[in-house]
Structure 1
């Protein structure tokens, strides 16, 4: 009789989540210079716990990147429950720009992951298309957003917005979000 899959203890899940939060922040700030032992210490766990969850630096970087992106994408339904779709999209775009600017410092670390043969971006587009698509569908349904725009089109548009926002002050970034929303309003 095959063994039943082991359930992961709640404290192990919490340790993993803390490691991912600390790792994402640390790699964004320090790039590849971030020491795994320091990440473990900041997360309040031993280095053995870090390596039990993430056997290599690249595995930790990849997991931290994917975790942060998932957190951004998971905001879409929460924001839709709290706001009309147009406002939810504005809030989501603001959150997305914050994520992109924090991830900007991770690019060196992500390049190391890619060099190791892992594609950290393999699921990114689907997660983003799903999140933006959910926001657009809700907006088309409630009349606050155009129904003739695809999630792919919006991702290309906000890719340029994300790049531009890294080179301008926050008030200008918010004005750029306003311009994007004006283009998406019927």
Structure 2
């Protein structure tokens, strides 16, 4: 529930607002999360786990390129969730209460797993790295934040996926004129 509140908030929501949306009293919320930082850390950890586990679940259910595209949607939702808790999250990263490096490593590993599966299946270019994909995703969700620019983000993700696919024989590429 807190994740949804953080995602839909333009600014950081109050703990009272989160408790109200969750259908619990503020005392119950404080009993489980004594500080805003504890709640943000729990939501953040849950979202990172969903992203990394989501990559593996998608790969078992879908062809690799489709799994990667669906995972990109999960990533966009994760970015949107962070907007509602950004100032607290940044303060926690700055004070080393949350490890940005550990999160980065986990997300790059998830992207790498998706890429390698797609490359092995011949669905994705072999010259693309997980860092390349991560940089593109950050750029896309910076210029087309969710949920307000979902259609634009979807279009940009489609263009990205087109660029990640290997060229078909005889297809024109920017290098071939």
The alignment's TM-score, normalised by the length of structure 2, stands at 0.77
The Cα offsets for residues 100-131 of structure 1, whole Å up to 9 and x where unpaired, read as 22322221231343465523524211121111
* 1:151 match: 130
Q: Closer, same or farther in 2 for the Cα pair 1:34/1:157, shift >3 Å?
A: same
Q: Closer, same or farther in 2 for the Cα pair 1:27/1:176, shift >3 Å?
A: closer
Structure 1 residue matching 2:123: 3-state secondary structure? coil
What is the RMSD of the two structures over their aligned residues, measured on CA atoms? 2.6
Residue correspondences, number: 164
* 2:113 match: 134
Q: How far is 1:147 from its partner?
A: 1.8
* 2:174 match: none
Does residue 1:181 correspond to 2:161, yes or no? yes
The alignment's TM-score, normalised by the length of structure 1, stands at 0.73
Segments of 5+ residues of structure 1 without an aligned counterpart are 1-21
The Cα offsets for residues 73-126 of structure 1, whole Å up to 9 and x where unpaired, read as 211111112211111111111222122223222212313434655235242111
Q: For the residues of structure 1 that align with 2:116 and 2:10, how far apart are their CA atoms?
A: 39
Q: For the residues of structure 2 that align with 1:84 and 1:39, how far apart are their CA atoms?
A: 38
* 1:106 match: 85
